[in-house]
Copies of this chain bind each other. A is one copy, B any other.
Amino acid sequence: MGAKRIIVIGGSAAGPKAASKARRMDENAEITIFQKGSDLSMASCGYPYYVGGFFDDRSQLLCSPAGVVRDSRFFWNAKKITTRVLTAVNRIDREKKQIEFTELTTGERGTIAYDKLVIATGANARKPPVPGVELEGITTLQSIADADYLRKIKDEGVIKKAVVIGGGLIGIETVEALHLAGIDITLVELLPQLLTFLDKHMARLVERYVQTKANVILKNGVASFLGEKGKLKAVKLQDGTEIPCDLAVVAIGVSPNTKLAREAGLAIGDTGGIVVDGYMQTSDADIYAVGDCVEIPNLITGKPVHAPFGDLANLQGRVVGENVIRGNVVKFPGTIQTGICKVFDYGVGSTGLSEQNAVRLGITDIETVVNASLDKPGFMNGNLLITKLIADRKNGSILGAQVLGPGDVSKQVAIWAMAIKGRFTVDEMVNADLPYAPPFSLAIDHSISTAHIMQNKLTGLYRGISAEELRERLKDNAPMVLLDVRNPNEFEEVRLGLGERLIPLGQLRHRLNELPEDKNIEIITWCKISLRGYEAALILQAKGFTNVKVLEGGIAAWPYSREK
């Protein structure tokens, strides 16, 4: 038997990873990557940072860690992998086990046979189907050409106004990049919130922060792009607003690029992604698929999802690279949809299920908690972290976590991702043995204190109310006592201004007579982060008040306007 022929369609992330791993498994295999564009192994997640000027050397997007550009020569010399760039694959012929391709520069066509084929065709950026979308000045930020285009705009410094359409990960990263380029930005999002992997309350905290950098418009879509002489001049929104601008970046999501797979009759899932099994094998045993073009199981729900994350693409590539050589020996288990993005000086991340997603999936017997604290001690210049944790009320297992703030978000999300992967319960998390020293964390790490509150909530000790809920209740004008238990100087500095009264925790036991006689009246307590708020609630409960709740996350996690 001759050398195994491995063809990989797609040379961005998952494709080259699969090819490289296949080479490491078999020095003699004939491995060829087909790539429509001219570049290979692009660090596409780095585009916004190149555009924003975090670094200036474009080749860093294309370099190996040793600083060598990963071009065709590199792939051949270092990995003995043939790469055919600027070559489009037109068709997969499953019967003949070959692909048909066109060299884009010469127009020459050809076929090449495979023993195993890997589809790594990625995803396409969506564009809104509205008039004017073809105008000059409208782009996505998906390809390296897009990155070049936007970087040129930054370097030229001529364009002063831009609209970013879409408040997801890429949209927000684009806002930061263009802001750093000195451009005034309006961010437009069709939905009532940014970053839909967050629950609304958490998204609102991000929105408040992004508002300080850009004009944010929610619940409004693009009706049309208006231009002059073929050039973009304004974006017209569905409510009629016109926003003058010379640049619009569209970031309304991506769709799996499954054209070849679909035409070849491979199974496509409801999410639009190619169906693969645990071995990343498609409905054809000789064809595997990886990366942004596939759907994979969510490990919590078991349901397939489209999860276009660069890290998963790489991990899948490693699995496929081994399986195409050795037969199906390793599995990619699926995803808990862990993600993170930098939003100026905030980190914003999520893993597992959000409350909204859980409810949408019919998982309603859940408990949630919002916790706010520093990431490390104040004397070490700790920064704020706000976490929303979601747990299963029946068995206490952790279902999801969202973390944001200027603090060390990345570590927090990693901790929760591991907890969810390990199917930890809240009871297991409360005594987690994490690394502690003042330069790195609080003595009780933020993640652990979040678990403590969740445990107190699950055992009925802590009764919380979310900011959203409180805001709704206030609209009803229900009789309730709002109690801020901080110190007077803190109250002078900042306060919610909901009609609350101030009784510092240290005075509460002696000033109970200031509270209504009706022990069943609803009382909401809070402080800066609601630790003292919790202690106040316990005191009130011990004194016979039956309906006391803590405002979760306190003032730090209040996502609405404040009096001061």
Task: List A residues at the B interface (Cβ < 8 Å).
Answer: 13, 24, 27-28, 43, 45-46, 49-50, 54-55, 57, 60-61, 63, 65-68, 74, 77-80, 299, 309-315, 318-319, 332-333, 335-342, 347, 349, 351, 373-374, 377-380, 408, 410-411, 413-415, 417-419, 421-424, 428, 430-441, 443-445, 448, 452, 461, 486-487, 490, 505-507, 509, 527-529, 531-532, 534-535, 538-539, 541-543
Contacts and interface: CB of A to CB of B under 8 A. Distances in A.
A310 B66 contact: no
Given A314-B443, A440-B410, A349 B46 contact: no
Nearest to A20: B535
B438 A49 contact: yes
B542 A78 contact: no
B338 A435 contact: yes
Given A311-B443, A349-B435, 14 more contacts: A27-B538, A60-B379, A65-B531, A68-B487, A77-B507, A78-B506, A309-B436, A311-B441, A311-B444, A311-B445, A339-B435, A342-B439, A410-B435, A415-B418
Copy count, this protein chain? 2
B440 A311 contact: no
Given A27-B538, A66-B527, A49 B380 contact: yes
Given A65-B378, A532-B78, A437 B43 contact: no
A24 B543 CA distance: 13
Contacts of A54: 379-380
Given A63-B378, A422-B422, A310 B410 contact: no
10 contacts: A49-B379, A49-B380, A77-B506, A299-B433, A311-B445, A342-B440, A410-B441, A414-B414, A417-B433, A419-B422
Contacts of A543: 27
B452 A318 contact: yes
The winner among A77, A414, A432, A506 for most chain B CB atoms within 10 A is A414
A63 B378 CA distance: 9
Contacts of A313: 443
A555 to B, nearest CB: 11
A344 to B, nearest CB: 11
A351 B435 CA distance: 8
B542 A27 contact: yes
Contacts of A339: 435-437
B434 A314 contact: no
The winner among A54, A333, A437 for most chain B CB atoms within 10 A is A437
Nearest to A350: B435
Q: Give 8 closest A-B pairs by Cβ, nearest first.
A: A422-B422, A27-B542, A77-B506, A418-B418, A340-B435, A311-B436, A60-B379, A411-B411
A435 B414 contact: yes
A331 to B, nearest CB: 8
Contacts of A539: 27
A60 B373 CA distance: 16
Contact of A333 (B79, B309, B333, B431): B431
A290 to B, nearest CB: 13
